[in-house]
Amino acid sequence: MNEKVLIVDDEASIVTLLKFNLEKAGFVTDVAYDGLEAIRKTDKNNYDFIILDLMLPEMDGIEVCKQLRRNKIDTPVLMLTARDEEFDKILGLEIGADDYLTKPFSPKEVIARIKAILRRTTTSSINPTTRIKIGDLIIYPERYEAEKDEEVLAFTRKEFELLYYLAKNKDRVLSRDQLLSAVWDYDFVGDTRIVDVHVSHLREKIEPNTKKPIYIKTIRGLGYKMEDPT
């Protein structure tokens, strides 16, 4: 194991704790002590994982995560928050975080989360050679993109994984719990709002009219179904 992890936190004690335990577990570590330093480092270096504190000098964790995704840096992010900090899990996931933990935390739990997220990332069920066409929508798994009316559409990793899963199960009704299990990990099971939020984002990008969707249909009381527009 030589995965490189960037630790972004302004608390020296937290950094020391994480560095010691991650390196003991076989990870290579680097450190940034504020949000702007994190952006600079991710621009110049490739990381396999980022541990990102919510409250940071210069630029907070939410803004850092937004900037990373705007810069097309798709490295998995684990957000750290203090118990007394207001943190909306749905907002964090919306802007591109993959998971979050509250302080104080167990180093073993951090390592377990990192390994689980990396395992899901490296064993993705997406087949990069399979192009999917639904109506005027063409999905390119290898690029995590789709085209519609000759316009290239860009997605976050989770948006694309949800779109791909819906597309490869075209004409099947999928419950929110099925989608949670397939696209997200166990931590989000039961919190189906995240599915609704991501479906809403997909509709904004692919539907001609989000109030009358023709690609991703809501099946009342059951879930969602993707189908060819009629």
> What one-letter code names the amino acid at 75?
T
The DSSP element (H or E) to which 103 belongs, if any, is: strand 99-103
Which letter does DSSP use for residue 2 in this model?
A: -
- Check residue 218 and give left, alpha or beta (phi > 0: left; psi -120 to 50: alpha): beta
What pLDDT, on the 0 to 100 scale, is given for residue 210? 94
State whether residue 184 is helix, strand or coil: coil
Residue entry with tokens 């509250």:
102
What pLDDT, on the 0 to 100 scale, is given for residue 84? 59
Closest CA to 77 of 103, 90, 58, 95: 95
Q: The pTM is what?
A: 0.68
- Give the integer Cα–Cα distance in Å for 18 and 61: 17
What pLDDT, on the 0 to 100 scale, is given for residue 89? 66
What pLDDT, on the 0 to 100 scale, is given for residue 173? 97
Q: pLDDT truncated to tens, each residue of the chain (230 aa)?
A: 589 999 999 999 999 999 999 999 999 999 999 999 999 999 999 999 999 999 999 999 999 999 998 888 889 999 998 865 666 666 777 777 888 888 889 999 999 989 888 887 665 556 656 789 999 999 988 878 899 988 999 888 888 889 999 999 999 999 998 888 888 765 554 567 788 888 998 999 999 999 999 999 999 999 999 999 97
Between the alpha carbon of residue 226 and those of residues 39, 54, 211, the distances in Å are: 37, 36, 16
